[in-house]
Copies of this chain bind each other. A is one copy, B any other.
């Protein structure tokens, strides 16, 4: 397999890999982990804990934490040891959605087919629920296992940097500021790499770290994660114009309406699909050193490329 190939070769991912049951099982692990790490919804004050649980258990696809666990496996580790880090990343992802949906930001009423957090609990509680999810992510991450090569200080730095003002939040800000403007592809890539790819790549890297991976494996996971992360957002751009709101569980066509720069808007639909495929091929190539252990990561990357919501 070569990184230059445009079409996904049939051999790229193992068709016999039981992806559906794999994802279902991992989702159950992650949901159990989240319930264990979070204060129960009845904890006083009940409102904030109900709001946190509402957004966290809203039927999300758990892409980032599943990738985190699969990365641990690819490095020969026990995925159970990656669980706290996987859950921490999911909390950060969920907080970013809760705040992103606020009227002051994207002003979205629906997410995953349900009213958004602020529609149910009010804006004040939604701001605080996002804050609490971001905070608890670090509480959970601190409960992970550290290694001499990857001590807690490094795991926390990794998470904080991916979620911080130079990565995830930088992407949100640049996205907010680009609305209604015509921006070059370079700037769009800046946004996508930060808004989506940074945290997804962080999830994959943390999975490797939890398995005490070698520096070479970490490099390979970084290449995999950054390419899959960017592909993921390009596909998101494509789905926003090709799918219905019902299918997506969120408002479709929002990017066009908000005059947001997207890959289809800048380079067209067909070229966007090609780019997503090329990025996925690069991700596949990065997995070569893992051999058969990379099967789950490979299957997940292809699933993300082919998804319809």
Contacts and interface: CB of A to CB of B under 8 A. Distances in A.
A109 to B, nearest CB: 16
A194 to B, nearest CB: 9
Secondary structure type dominating chain A contacts:
helix
A49 B165 contact: yes
Interface of A: 39, 43-45, 47-49, 52, 95, 99, 102, 104-105, 122-128, 130-132, 134-136, 138-139, 141-143, 146, 151-154, 156-157, 159-161, 163-166, 169-170, 172-174, 176-177
Contacts of A39: 165-166
Contact of A170 (B48, B99, B166, B177): B48
Contacts of A45: 170, 173-174, 177
Contacts of A134: 131, 134-135
How many copies are assembled? 2
A165 B128 CA distance: 8
B172 A128 contact: yes
Contacts of A163: 135
Contacts of A127: 99, 102, 104-105, 127
A156 B144 CA distance: 12
B124 A136 contact: no
A143 to B, nearest CB: 7
